[in-house]
Amino acid sequence: MNNTEALRCLLCKKPKCALDGCPVHTPVPEAMLLYRQGKLEEAGELLFRNNPLSAVTSLVCDWKQFCYGHCVLNVKKVPVRWYEIEQEISGAYLFHHRLQRRSSELSGKRIALVGAGPVGLSAAVWLYEAGADVVLYDANPRMGGVLRYGIPAFRLDKKYCDAFEQMFQQAGIEFHGGIEVGKDITLASLSDTYDAVLLGAGAERPATLRIPGEERAVQALPFLKDPSAFALGRKVIVIGGGNVAMDACRTAIRQGAETWVYYRKTFENMPANPLEVEEAKADGVQFRVFQAPVEVREGGVVFRDCENVQPEDGGRVVTRIIDGTDHFVECDTLLTAISEKPDFGLFAGTPAVMNQWGWPEISEGQQVQGLSNVWVAGDFCLGPKTVVEAVASARIAVADILRIFGTC
Ligand SMILES: Cc1cc2nc3c(=O)[nH]c(=O)nc-3n(C[C@H](O)[C@H](O)[C@H](O)COP(=O)(O)OP(=O)(O)OC[C@H]3O[C@@H](n4cnc5c(N)ncnc54)[C@H](O)[C@@H]3O)c2cc1C
């Protein structure tokens, strides 16, 4: 118990950490009070019901952006490290929790969840508790999505994914691993078989550099899924500045490779959690900024220098590639982690309404327009975001399913 930290919390009536800082509005003051009173079980239940992935988000959230960054004590003192207390409560609670039917609102309804990542896991908990018969499908053999197949074990222990597998098995929630919807089974058949289908299929399609020789590069996501399947060689270059790039470089250096991250802008522009960048540096990863790749060749990459330019009209600083600065940098493996987007191929042959950018048109409750009983959530409709935002998005879709099918 860390009561010294807990007692620093002001138990705000309008807690900014929860209301403004947290996408799932974690009830921080209520849980903090229970913690102070030593009621850890009740605190765990409160947190789990609000966010079934509380034990995970307390570990992987960029808390400076969320709860910690919004604590009122930020102004003069040191903010409360709520995420540490949340991990203590939820990290223990998850491993002995048994799912229970809490209502019969969705009794008799069969609901298919496509994707067993944060969306599928959290939605399965809420829908099961509301009385539904829940069936999960995933292209991967086991549950967890990015939590199991993306975030490296040195950052997130796989025991958290295992805990959900056990919990679901005990509750009788069916899981069909190794089934790719759109290939092994159609969305139309799921939609016909189930009362509702929720697609939480993530964003796994890598964006491309669009430069010559790119086919020589290794994509970061397949590498992170099974690092041991890749012989990296002596020197690795990772291109990118987001969390995937940080996980890729930190994994490569653990494989014994001299590892460099090349990024076309500055450190301030990197979308990665700044803590992750610091951790990567501490691991020994080296960084080169203002470097844009222009060609991948046998044995290395041609980069061109970049610079920041302030437009004359005073607009936003832009990063410009400087012509005539090409230089070849040797490496044995090039890992690319530019960005990812969802794969909407599973909508092929369905009357789903897609917008001009090829994304599904959805309602406020995230129901897909043109399909009578299909919803979307998480990275699949937001693009690559965070675990806590995926859970928040799953909650919107589940609330809409309850609104339509619920009997209460
Ligand atoms: C390497 C990496 C590191 C990250 N680090 C962090 C972090 O530190 N903190 C943080 O908050 N967020 C992080 N994120 C982002 C976070 O993991 C995602 O935002 C979150 O996992 C999204 O959850 P999801 O359920 O929408 O999708 P996912 O976790 O991607 O799960 C989608 C699931 O759907 C399955 N699927 C896809 N298509 C099909 C199909 N056609 N049929 C059947 N199944 C299918 C996939 O196999 C997968 O299991 C990271 C992401 C990556 C890639």
Q: What is the CATH number of the domain that holds 47?
A: 1.10.1060.10
Alpha-carbon distance of 56 to 118, in angstroms, equals 10
Give residue for tokens 């936003």: 316
Joined tokens for residue 370: 């043109």
Cβ of residue 94 lying under 6 Å from some atom of ligand 1: no
> Within a domain: residue 100?
no
pLDDT higher than 90, residue 287: yes
> Within a domain: residue 105?
no
Cβ of residue 137 lying under 6 Å from some atom of ligand 1: yes
Query: In this structure, are 350 and 304 located in the same domain?
Result: no
> Within a domain: residue 104?
no
Cβ of residue 181 lying under 6 Å from some atom of ligand 1: yes
Say what the pLDDT of residue 68 is. 84
Question: Helix, strand, coil: what percent of the chain each, to 5?
Answer: 40, 20, 45
DSSP count for the chain of H helices, then E strands? 16, 16
pLDDT higher than 70, residue 92: yes
> Within a domain: residue 99?
no
Query: In this structure, are 212 and 324 located in the same domain?
Result: yes
Cβ of residue 342 lying under 6 Å from some atom of ligand 1: no
Q: Of 149, 163, 118, nearest to 136 (Cα)?
A: 118
> Within a domain: residue 103?
no
Q: What is the mean pLDDT of residues 67-82?
A: 84
Q: What is the mean pLDDT of residues 307-326?
A: 88
Q: What is the mean pLDDT of residues 118-143?
A: 98
Domain ranges, residue 358: 110-204+342-405
3-state secondary structure of 345: helix
Instruction: Please identify, among 340, 367, 388, the residue that sits at the C-terminal boundary of a domain.
Output: 340
Alpha-carbon distance of 381 to 378, in angstroms, equals 6
Global pTM? 0.95
Say what the pLDDT of residue 316 is. 80
Query: Which amino acid is it at 348?
Result: A
| Size (the chain), residues | 408
Could you tell me the pLDDT band of residue 52, with boundaries at 50, 70 and 90? very high
Query: In this structure, are 152 and 63 located in the same domain?
Result: no
> Within a domain: residue 302?
yes
Say what the pLDDT of residue 376 is. 98
DSSP state for residue 292 in the 8-state scheme: E
Chain-wide mean pLDDT for the chain? 94
pLDDT higher than 70, residue 322: yes
Q: What is the helix (H) or strand (E) element at residue 300, kind and residue range?
A: strand 300-309
Query: In this structure, are 324 and 216 located in the same domain?
Result: yes
Give residue for tokens 């099974």: 226
Alpha-carbon distance of 400 to 8, in angstroms, equals 38
Could you tell me the pLDDT band of residue 245, with boundaries at 50, 70 and 90? very high
pLDDT higher than 90, residue 10: no
Query: In this structure, are 302 and 250 located in the same domain?
Result: yes
Cβ of residue 300 lying under 6 Å from some atom of ligand 1: no
Alpha-carbon distance of 128 to 124, in angstroms, equals 6
Task: Give the atom of ligand 1 at the shortest distance from the alpha carbon of 143.
Answer: 49
Give residue for tokens 């550099």: 209
CA distances to 50, 237, 262, 286, 299 from 257, in Å: 42, 10, 15, 12, 15
For a ligand 1 pocket test, name from 165, 382, 387, 398 the mutation site with the most ligand atoms within 8 angstroms of its C-beta.
387
Distance 21 CA to ligand 1 centre (A): 22
Task: Read off the pLDDT of residues 147-191 as tens digits, 9 standing for 90 and up.
Answer: 999 999 999 999 999 999 999 999 999 999 999 999 999 999 999
> Within a domain: residue 346?
yes
Distance 381 CA to ligand 1 centre (A): 12
Give residue for tokens 């995933």: 138
> Within a domain: residue 131?
yes
Q: Of 307, 329, 295, nearest to 209 (Cα)?
A: 295
Task: Read off the pLDDT of residues 138-159 as tens digits, 9 standing for 90 and up.
Answer: 999 999 999 999 999 999 999 9
Q: What is the mean pLDDT of residues 115-140?
A: 98
* Of 77-86, 199-208, 285-294, 330-339, the least confident: 77-86
Could you tell me the pLDDT band of residue 5, with boundaries at 50, 70 and 90? confident
pLDDT higher than 90, residue 63: no
Say what the pLDDT of residue 9 is. 83
Instruction: Please identify, among 93, 118, 139, the residue that sits at the C-terminal boundary of a domain.
Output: 93
3-state secondary structure of 320: strand
Query: In this structure, are 328 and 211 located in the same domain?
Result: yes
Query: In this structure, are 162 and 131 located in the same domain?
Result: yes
Distance 386 CA to ligand 1 centre (A): 8
pLDDT higher than 80, residue 51: yes
Could you tell me the pLDDT band of residue 126, with boundaries at 50, 70 and 90? very high
pLDDT higher than 90, residue 122: yes
Query: In this structure, are 327 and 360 located in the same domain?
Result: no
Say what the pLDDT of residue 64 is. 86
Return the sign of the alpha-carbon dihedral for residues 345, 346, 350, 351.
Answer: negative
Joined tokens for residue 342: 């969802």
| Percent of the chain residues topping a pLDDT of 90 | 84
Q: Of 258, 254, 248, 261, nearest to 332 (Cα)?
A: 258
Joined tokens for residue 44: 């765990």
Query: In this structure, are 219 and 335 located in the same domain?
Result: yes
Task: Read off the pLDDT of residues 334-392 as tens digits, 9 standing for 90 and up.
Answer: 999 998 999 999 999 999 999 999 999 999 999 999 999 999 999 999 999 999 999 99
Query: In this structure, are 214 and 335 located in the same domain?
Result: yes
Say what the pLDDT of residue 350 is. 95
Query: In this structure, are 267 and 327 located in the same domain?
Result: yes
The domain tally of the chain equals: 3
Distance 379 CA to ligand 1 centre (A): 7
Helix axes 118-129 and 387-405, enclosed angle (nearest 10): 30
* Paired sense of beta strands 286-288 and 374-376, if any: unpaired
Query: In this structure, are 42 and 156 located in the same domain?
Result: no
Could you tell me the pLDDT band of residue 408, with boundaries at 50, 70 and 90? low
Instruction: Please identify, among 340, 363, 392, the residue that sits at the C-terminal boundary of a domain.
Output: 340
| Percent of the chain residues topping a pLDDT of 70 | 100
Give residue for tokens 């309008």: 14
Q: What is the CATH number of the domain that holds 278?
A: 3.50.50.60
